[in-house]
Every structure is written in structure tokens, then in C-alpha cells.
Amino acid sequence: MLIQNDSLLDNDFQLANKQRMELSSNNKHIPYIKRVWSGFISNKWAVASFVVILLIVLFALFAPIFSPYSSTGVRPDETNLSPRIPLLEKIGIFNGYSDAVSTRYHYFGTDNLGRDIWVRCATGTRLSLYIACLAMLIDLLIGVIYGMISGYYGGRVDLAMQRITEVLSIVPTIIVVTLLLVVLKPGLSSIIVAMILTGWINMSRIIRAQVLKIKEQEFVMAAYTIGESTVTIILKEILPNLIGPIITTFMFSIPSAIFLEAFLAFIGLGVPEPYASLGSMINDGFSSAMSYPFMIFFPIILLVLLMLSFNLFADGLRDAIDPEINEK
Amino acid sequence: MEVIHMIRYIGKRTILSLITLFIILFILFLMLNFMPGSPFNDTKMSHEQLKILYHEYGLDRPLAERFLIYVKQMLTGNLGVSYSLQTNATVTNMISHTLPISVQIGLQASVVGSLIGIVLGFVAALRKNSFFDSMATGISILGVSVPSFVLALCFSYIFSYKYNLFPLLYSSSEAFRSTILPTLSLCFFTLASIARYSRSEMIEVMEKDYIRLADAKGITRFQLVCRHIIRNAMIPIITVLAPLTVDLMAGSLVIEKAFSIPGMGSLYINAIQANDYNVVIGISFIYSLMFIGTMFFVDLLYGLIDPRIRIAKRGK
């Protein structure tokens, strides 16, 4: 029979031995993304933490929009109000018991300047996440470039670059960050700069170790043999294989960046006043923690939830991306 | 042969530490020089008067020479005087008053944290996938995720405020009792990281061939765990101890503020807020010295304990 056109249908062919085919379907190739996805889905803690992160992000984005209050709106007549939530107040909790001079609903209460804590929590979370994500993204960029160059070229370049990071990594992070902030004065950009300065070393180390492993493999050798340029090899052969470690490192660095920001705010080097971050809110509420616990309770819960779920999420993601580590 | 390699290894570590020390000194020196404002900002002074003052304090000399003088001063313990916190008190004096209590709490926390952490991790590894194992994993994830000041707040609320078991704030009349809660809140992070790390280290060692061989020889389980597994798993754990000291330093700042402990951390925070540059720089220097010292010591210990490190270095 002549083939009339190039398109062949599935039923043009018949299996010579159907049984053998069924046996081999056990070893069917599963695409990378699908494998990672199914590994991730099966980890209920990771999925739950992902949902929590999503909820917190939604809260941070939309709570201020649907609230009549603003994060910076000072109201001297509504200071230190306890939390009051409609419906819940009827069963005796969150009823604004302390000094209910106001008939308005502040879900998380108000702080010592009469600012609504619900809205401030949302904008604070936003700022904390923004600082952490931006700083870590830039860190990632620097770390990946540095690590790839160091790992790929090897030899003297690697030696020199590794000596630099070795020396820099002995300089304690908190010292660099505090000194920088003392000189630059705390502000959004100076905090981000301080985080970038200290965070990229770890990234570059992980990336370098991965590149060293990958570049020995056959497909890189093959690309080299057929005359691909260095740039093509790095971008097309090595970089795609780094996606897994890059994502997990990024995810693990987010909670530590959130923590660093909170830490800086707690020692008085946080974002300056009209801004609110989770750390600066905790710092503000700390002195009155025993008399107005609600002021510090909600930012703390948000901070801990964020860090916990990012850690669990990163854990799950790493196990899904690199199942070998799980065996450890 | 072996001795020569050991000496080379120690020499390399020493040089690395010294370079780092100089970099830190250089950063501190730059800070001091580019800090906004100068002690001679008085506009009434004439050009000649300024010149005399600059000459007297050596500010007209070249930068490199000033740096050398500065290094000499720092290394001989002359850290300058405080401007605003305690006017004209020497920084060295201020630090020597506050350092002991910080070191005490730091040491307590690191000992308690690493001991409990190692035990927790090892038991979890031995009873892998049991209830205890998941509990230990839970503790280690919580410990990494809950900042120490949150713990400090919870502890002081429950144990001091509600039940009045420990002093709420530090008091020198009950010095040891006041350090218990700070130690507990500080050690949690160390505990969690070490538990996590030692568990995975232990499991990795347990799968090694030499453990299977030792098991096949027929020695008791107790002997197997003590002699073979723990000894081999301990070596890498030493390496995480060094980075953890930095976290302890950072933690101590927060904890000392939370419990109003008159330690070096509180002094540091106060100096930052009061812009007392000499104190900030002096304490930064002491912190860096402490950290460089720990790193050096741990590297040395690691090289001594594990001959593979030296051999690997030789291979390169």
C-alpha cells in the first residue's frame, strides 16, 4: 500500500506482541514537571503550607482595599482599642471589651496611635514579603552568575573566586548589616542592599557545587564536542539543569530574609515610621506586650505562620524536585 | 609527611583568618572616615586652627598611614571613647563590663542547644519513621521558624508573668535564675538546626558499608551505635557549630533586649540607636574577633579529627 500523505494514524500499526507493551508501561517516562508535581501533591504538609502562604498573600493584597481604614491613618480618639469582629463579638470573644468608646469594628484592634492593626498587618506583611522577595531575587541573580562562572571555568578563576567568598563568609552577617544600616540610615533600599550584600555567597556556593557536578556529564561534553559556544553551553545545557536547586534555594532563603528583616526591626534598624513591616510592628508592640497583647499577637502569628509555611513549602518542594535527598 | 601537611593546613587557615581580620578592620576604618559629620564641625574655627587640630590628631597624614595606626590601636585594645552613651568612658572598659554576662548566656545556650539537639537527632535517626522521629522533625522545623524574640515573649509571659517562676527582667540579685529563660529561648534555634542536621548525618552513616560490616561481625547494637555510628556522624556536626555561633550572636542581641540583660548585645543596640560610633565599631570588632576565632578553632578541630580533610587538600 502506498502512503498517500505524511500523516499516519495510530491504527495504521498493530503491536506484534501486546503483552510486552503492557509490561513496559510500568517504566513509562513521566515528564519532569509531572513528577515534581505528583511528589509535591503527595506531601500534605507542603500543600497545606502552600495554601497558607496563598491565603496570607491574598490577605496582604486585598485586606487594605476592603477596609475603611488606612495603614497610616492616625486617630487620637481610637487608640489602644481591642479587637472587635462582627458576629464573633456575640459569643464573647473579640468584642472590644477593654475601653469600648468606639462603635467601629477594628478586627485586630488599634495601636497606640489609633491605627487599625488589621490593615497594618496586611501592609506589613506586604512590605516584609516585598523586601524578602526582592532582596533574594537579586541575591539569586548575583549568586547564579558568580557560581556558574566559578564552577564552569574552574582552575585559577575558580580558586580566586572561592578564596574571595571564603574570606567574605567569615565576616559575620549581622556586623555587615548593622554597620551598613548605621551608615546608610534605615530605609527600604538600604535594608535590601544590606540583605543582598550578605546573602549571595550562600547562593553562589550551592550553584557552584551543582555546576561542578553537571559539567562533568556527557551531554555537556557532547555540546562541547559539536562546537557549541561557551555561552550556549552555559545557558542551554547547564542552566536548565540548575532550575531545581535554584528554586529550592530561593524558597529556603525567603523565610530567612523575612526573619532578618524582623530581626533588624527588633534591634531598631527596621523600616522608618509611616511604613509598617511585621518586624517593626512587633518592635512597636513589644514594650506594651503585657498590657495590650493583641498589638503584638497578630503580627507575631503572621510572622511565624509565614516562616513556618515557607520552610515547610521549601522542604516539600526540595523533596519533590530532588527525591534522593529525601532518602537521607 | 603528615606533620608537614598539618602545619600547612594550620598555616593556610591562619592566613585566611588574618586576611579576614584585616578586611574587617578596613571596613571599620572606612566607616569611621566616611561617617557623616566630623568632630571639628565648629564653624567658628579658622582655617589655621583646623589645620593645627588636624595635625594634632594625625588627620593630615596619608590614609594608609592612618590605617596602620588605627590597626595598631585596635589590636592593642584601644577602642576609643564613647561619645554619647557614657561620655568619655573607654569602649574597652564598657565592653569588659558587659561581655561576661553575654558570653555566659551564649555558652549556656550553645551547650544546652547542641547537647539536646544531638540527642534528639540521634534518637530520631535510630527510631526512624516512629512517632518520636516525627516529633523531633516537628520540633526542628518549629525551632527554625519561630524567631527567638517570639519565644522569649511566650516564655516570659507564661513562666514569669502568669506563674511567677522566674524573674521577668534580668536582676543581678538572682543572676543565675534570670539567665534560665534567656538561655532557653536562645538555645532553641541551635537545638533545632543541630537536631535536623545530626539526624540526617546519622542516617547517612548508618547506610554505609562499614556499618553493615560491623553489624555482620556480630557486635552488640550498643557498641555499634557508640563506636561506629556516633563517632562518624559527629565529625560533620562540628562544622555546623561555627555558623551557628553567628546566629547565637544575633539571637543574643534580641534576647538581651527582650529580657533587659545588661550584656554586650544591649550595649550594641543602645549604641546603634544613640549613634555612638566608637561603641558600635568596638563591639563589631569584638564580635568579628569572636567569630573569626570560632571559625579558626572549628576548622582546626575538623582537620585534626578527620584526616580526610587534610588528604583532600593535598590531592588538589
A99 vs B123: CA distance, rounded Å: 52
The DSSP 8-state label assigned to residue A226 in this structure reads T
In this structure, what C-alpha cell is assigned to residue A87? 458576629
Tell me whether residues B31 and A166 touch, CB distance under 8 A.
no
* Domains, chain B: 1-38+277-316 (no CATH), 91-273 (1.10.3720.10)
Quick check: A180 contacting B, CB < 8 Å?
no
Enumerate the residues of chain A whose CB falls inside 8 A of the CB of residue B31: 179, 182-183
Do A174 and B246 lie within an 8 Å CB cutoff?
yes
Closest-approach residue (CA) in chain B for A307: B145
In-domain check, residue A250: yes
Report yes or no on A275 lying in a domain.
yes
Percent of chain A with pLDDT over 90: 2
What digits encode the pLDDT tens for the residues A170-229? 777 778 888 888 777 777 888 888 888 888 888 888 888 888 888 888 888 888 888 888
* Radius of gyration of chain B from its Cα atoms, rounded to whole angstroms: 25
Of A301-315, B258-272, B302-316, which range is least confident? B302-316
Q: Are B254 and A266 inside 8 Å of each other by CB?
A: yes
ipTM field? 0.77
Lowest-pLDDT range of A32-41, A316-325, B68-77, B188-197: A316-325
CA distance B102 to chain A (A): 16
| Structural domain total, chain A | 1
A6 falls within a domain: no
Q: Is A132 helix (H, G, I), strand (E, B) or coil?
A: helix
Is residue A283, in this structure, part of any structural domain at all?
yes
Nearest-CA neighbor of B200 among B246, B242, B239, B236?
B236
For residue B106, pLDDT over 60 is answered with yes
Percent of chain B with pLDDT over 70: 88
State the residue for C-alpha cell 543541630.
Answer: B194
Q: Pick the residue from chain B with its C-alpha nearest to A163.
A: B16
Question: Who wins on pLDDT, B305 or A214?
Answer: A214
User: For position A83, what pLDDT does the model report?
Assistant: 67
Q: What is the DSSP string of B145-177?
A: HS-HHHHHHHHIIIIIIIS--S-SS--GGGHHH
Q: Is residue A89 part of a domain?
A: yes
Residue appearing with cell numbers 548566656: B105
Q: How far from A307 is each of A32, A51, A53, A128, A271, CA to CA, in Å? A: 28, 14, 9, 11, 19
User: Quick check: A308 and B141 CB within 8 A?
Assistant: yes
Nearest by CB to A304, from B19, B146, B200: name it: B146
Identify the pLDDT of residue B43: 61
CATH number, position A104: 1.10.3720.10
- Mean pLDDT over each residue of chain B, to the nearest integer: 79
Taking the Cβ of residue A140 and every Cβ of chain B, the question of whether any pair is shorter than 8 Å is answered with: no
> So what's the pLDDT on residue A142?
92
Length of chain A: 328
Give the closest-approach CA distance of B249 to chain A in angstroms. Answer: 8
Distances A270 to A120, A145, A279 between C-alpha atoms, Å: 15, 30, 7
**What does the pLDDT read at residue B137?**
85
- Asked if residue A228 is part of any domain, the answer here is yes
Q: Kindly state whether residue A235 falls inside one of the protein's structural domains.
A: yes
Instruction: Tell me the per-residue pLDDT of B212-236, one tens digit each, with 9 for 90 and over.
Output: 888 888 888 888 887 778 777 877 7
pLDDT tens sequence across B280-293? 888 888 888 888 88
- pTM score, whole prediction: 0.79
Which of A172, A174, A300 is opposite residue B150, by nearest beta carbon?
Answer: A300
- Which residues of B fall within a CB distance of 8 Å from A258? none
Residue A318 is part of which domain span? 39-327
Q: Looking at the domain assignment, is residue A4 inside a domain?
A: no
Q: Indicate the residue of B153, B254, B268 with minimum beta-carbon distance to A263.
A: B254
Question: What pLDDT was estimated at residue A74?
Answer: 67
pLDDT for residue B308 is more than 70: no
Using a CB-CB cut-off of 8 Å, the residues of chain A touching B288 are: 171-172, 175
When pLDDT is averaged across residues B101-113 and rounded to a whole number, the result is 87
pLDDT band (50, 70, 90) for residue A328: very low
Q: Give tens-digit pLDDT for B109-121.
A: 888 988 899 888 8
pLDDT digits (tens, 9 = 90+) for A53-95: 999 888 888 877 777 777 666 666 666 666 666 656 656 555 5
Q: Which residues of B touch A269 (CB under 8 A)?
A: 272
Q: Which of B145, B203, B246 faces A255 most closely, judged by CB atoms?
A: B145
Give tens-digit pLDDT for B26-63: 888 887 776 665 555 556 667 777 777 777 666 667 77
pLDDT confidence band for B314 (50 / 70 / 90): very low
Q: Which of A229-233, A274-278, B301-305 has the highest mean pLDDT?
A: A229-233
